[in-house]
C-alpha cells in the first residue's frame, strides 16, 4: 500500500505532507524568532552591564541585523521561487548557529556588530518571509488557514523564549545563555528544515498557469513597476512602522497616563491576547471584504486604536481595551502582509515579490524603537507620539486604496470589466481561499 506521502499528484504534497510542513514551520518559527529576536531584549541590559557598551549601541547592533535581513531577503525571495524553502531555510538555520555563537563570544563592539550582520543573513532564511512563501505555494487556495495557524503558534515565541532566556540568565551569564540558545537553534531547526520540508516544490510554470487562469497579471518586472505595487510597499512599511512603534512605546505611554509598571505590562500582555483574537477572525474578515477594503479597514482600525491610546487619559479599563484593540489590529495586519502579494498577483513569484515588499517593512521594524523614543523627546511626551503614529497608519490606509491592480481579476465570478474593489460571491464551496477582489 502506498504511503500517504506518495498519494499526492506530481508536483504537489499530500494532505499528510502539507500537515507535516505546517507543523515543522510552526515549531521552527517559534524557535527562530525566540533565539534570533526575542532573546535580545531580555539579554540587552546584562550585555550592557557586563561589557560597558551603551544600550543604544547594543540595540544598534541588533537593528543592523534586521536591516541586513531586509536586504538579503530580496535575493533570498528569488531563490525561494526557484529552489523552494528546504535549502534556503536549512542554510539559514545552519548559519544562525555560528552567528549566535559569534554574538556570545564577541569581545569588542565591532565584532558584536559583525556577528549581528551574520545573524541578519540567517534571519532572512528563517523568519516569516520564507515560511510564508512555503505555505503560500504549497497550500495554494487553503493558504489562509495555514498562515493563520502559523502566525498564531509563532506568536508564542516571546511567551516561551522571554521567560526561558530570563531563567537561563539567572544561572548563567549572557554569553553562556546565548550559547545554550545556539544549541537549541541547532538541535531543533536544522534537522526540522532539512527533513521536514522535503517534498516536490510546485513547478513554477504550473503555478504561473494557475495564476493566469485566475486572472493574475504577468511577469514580476511588470508587477514591480505597477502603480499598485508602488503604493502597496509604502502602505505596508508605514503600517509596520506604526504597529511596532506602538508595541515598543506602549508601556511608557501608559505609565505617563498614571498606570504602574506592572499594570502597563499587563495591558501590553492583554494586547497580545487581542492579537491572537484578531488572527482568529481574519478568515471571516477575508471572506467578507474585498482585497482593497480588507487592507483599508485593517490599517484604519490600527489608526483608530493608536489614536485612542494617544487621546484617552483614562480610566485604566478603557486604556486596556484600546491596547487590546491595537493588538487585534496588529494581529490581522500580520496576515494582511502575508497574503498581500498572493491576493493580488498569485503565488508564482511570491518569494521574489514578497522579498521586495518585506524589505522596507523590516527596515521600519528596525527603526521603530529608536524613532518612538526620539519623537517622545521632540514632541514632549508619548501621547503626541501616538497621535502622530495614528496619522501614519491613516496615511497607510489611504495608500491602500490604490493597491489593487487593474484590470486583473482573481475570482472567476468577477468579469474583467468589473470593479475589483466591489464584493462578489465566491463559487468554491468550502474553500479557505480568500475572495480575491
Q: Do 65 and 131 share a domain, yes or no?
A: yes
What pLDDT shows up at residue 11? 54
The answer on 347 and 264 residing in a single domain is yes
* 52 and 185 co-located in one domain: yes
How big is the chain, counted in residues? 437
The answer to whether the CB of 342 falls within 8 A of the CB of 286 is: no
Most confidently modeled of 9-13, 234-238, 421-425? 234-238
pLDDT for residue 6: 41
Given a cut of 80, whether residue 204 has pLDDT beyond it is no
For the ranges 57-66, 79-88, 194-203, 387-396, the maximum mean pLDDT occurs at: 387-396
Residue 255: inside a domain: yes
Q: Which of 196-210, 297-311, 326-340 has the lowest mean pLDDT?
A: 196-210
Check whether residue 193 and residue 221 sit in a common domain. Answer: no
Q: Give the number of domains in the chain.
A: 2
In a domain, 389, yes or no: yes
**225 and 123 belong to one structural domain:** no
> C-alpha distances in angstroms, 436 versus 159, 205, 211?
34, 21, 11
Residues 155 and 238 in one domain: no
- Please check whether residue 392 is in contact with residue 241, taking contact to mean a CB–CB distance below 8 angstroms: yes
Where is average pLDDT lowest: 45-59, 100-114, 380-394?
Answer: 45-59
**Domain CATH for 24:** 1.20.1250.20
Q: Is 41 exposed, middle or buried (0-12, 13-18, 19+ CB in 10 A)?
A: middle
With respect to residue 437, please indicate whether it lies within any of the assigned structural domains.
Answer: no
86 and 158 part of one domain: yes
Instruction: Give the mean model confidence (pLDDT) for residues 346-356.
Output: 85
Angle at which helices 85-105 and 128-139 cross, to 10°: 170
H helices of 257-290, in order, are 261-280, 282-288
Using only C-alpha atoms, the chain has a radius of gyration, in whole angstroms, of: 21
pLDDT-derived band at 205, boundaries 50, 70, 90: low
With cell 540595540, the residue in question is 59
Claim to verify: residue 139 and residue 234 sit in the same structural domain: no
Closest by alpha carbon to 195, among 94, 122, 86?
86
Asked whether the beta carbons of 302 and 359 are under 8 A apart, the reply is no
What residues make up the domain containing 95?
A: 12-202
CB neighbour class for 348 (10 Å; exposed up to 12, middle 13-18, buried from 19): buried
Amino acid at each position: 500500500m502506498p504511503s500517504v506521502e506518495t498519494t499526492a499528484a506530481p508536483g504537489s504534497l499530500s494532505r499528510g505532507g502539507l500537515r507535516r510542513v505546517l507543523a515543522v514551520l510552526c515549531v521552527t518559527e517559534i524557535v527562530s524568532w525566540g533565539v534570533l529576536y526575542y532573546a535580545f531584549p531580555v539579554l540587552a541590559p546584562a550585555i550592557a552591564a557586563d561589557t560597558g557598551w551603551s544600550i543604544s549601541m547594543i540595540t544598534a547592533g541588533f537593528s543592523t541585523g534586521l536591516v541586513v535581513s531586509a536586504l538579503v531577503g530580496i535575493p533570498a525571495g528569488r531563490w525561494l521561487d526557484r529552489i523552494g524553502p528546504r535549502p534556503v531555510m536549512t542554510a539559514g538555520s545552519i548559519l544562525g548557529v555560528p552567528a549566535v555563537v559569534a554574538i556570545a563570544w564577541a569581545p569588542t563592539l565591532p565584532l558584536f556588530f559583525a556577528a549581528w550582520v551574520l545573524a541578519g543573513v540567517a534571519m532572512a532564511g528563517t523568519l516569516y518571509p520564507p515560511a510564508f512563501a512555503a505555505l503560500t505555494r504549497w497550500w495554494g487556495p487553503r493558504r489562509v488557514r495555514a498562515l493563520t495557524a502559523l502566525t498564531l503558534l509563532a506568536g508564542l515565541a516571546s511567551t516561551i523564549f522571554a521567560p526561558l532566556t530570563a531563567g537561563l540568565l539567572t544561572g548563567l551569564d549572557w554569553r553562556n545563555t546565548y550559547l545554550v540558545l545556539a544549541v537549541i537553534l541547532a538541535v531543533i531547526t536544522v534537522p526540522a528544515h532539512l527533513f521536514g520540508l522535503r517534498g516536490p516544490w510546485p513547478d513554477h510554470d504550473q503555478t504561473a498557469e494557475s495564476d493566469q487562469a485566475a486572472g493574475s497579471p504577468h511577469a514580476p518586472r511588470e508587477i514591480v513597476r505597477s502603480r499598485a505595487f508602488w503604493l502597496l510597499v509604502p502602505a505596508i512599511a508605514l503600517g509596520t512602522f506604526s504597529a511596532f512603534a506602538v508595541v515598543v512605546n506602549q508601556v511608557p505611554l501608559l505609565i505617563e497616563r498614571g498606570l504602574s509598571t506592572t499594570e502597563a505590562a499587563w495591558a501590553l500582555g492583554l494586547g497580545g491576547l487581542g492579537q491572537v483574537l484578531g488572527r482568529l477572525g481574519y478568515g471571516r474578515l477575508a471572506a467578507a471584504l474585498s482585497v482593497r477594503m480588507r487592507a483599508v479597514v485593517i490599517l484604519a482600525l490600527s489608526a483608530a486604536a493608536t489614536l485612542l491610546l494617544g487621546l484617552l487619559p483614562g480610566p485604566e479599563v478603557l486604556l486596556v481595551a484600546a491596547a487590546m484593540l491595537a493588538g487585534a489590529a496588529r494581529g490581522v495586519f500580520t496576515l494582511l502582509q502575508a497574503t498581500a502579494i498572493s491576493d493580488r498577483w498569485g503565488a508564482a513569484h511570491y518569494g521574489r515579490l514578497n522579498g521586495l515588499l518585506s524589505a522596507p517593512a523590516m527596515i521600519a521594524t528596525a527603526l521603530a524603537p529608536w524613532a518612538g523614543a526620539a519623537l517622545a523627546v521632540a514632541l514632549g511626551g508619548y501621547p503626541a507620539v501616538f497621535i502622530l503614529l495614528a496619522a501614519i497608519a491613516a496615511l497607510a490606509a489611504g495608500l491602500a486604496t490604490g493597491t489593487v491592480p487593474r484590470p486583473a481579476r482573481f475570482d472567476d465570478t468577477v468579469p474583467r470589466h468589473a470593479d475589483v474593489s466591489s464584493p462578489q460571491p465566491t463559487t468554491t464551496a468550502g474553500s479557505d481561499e480568500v475572495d480575491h477582489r
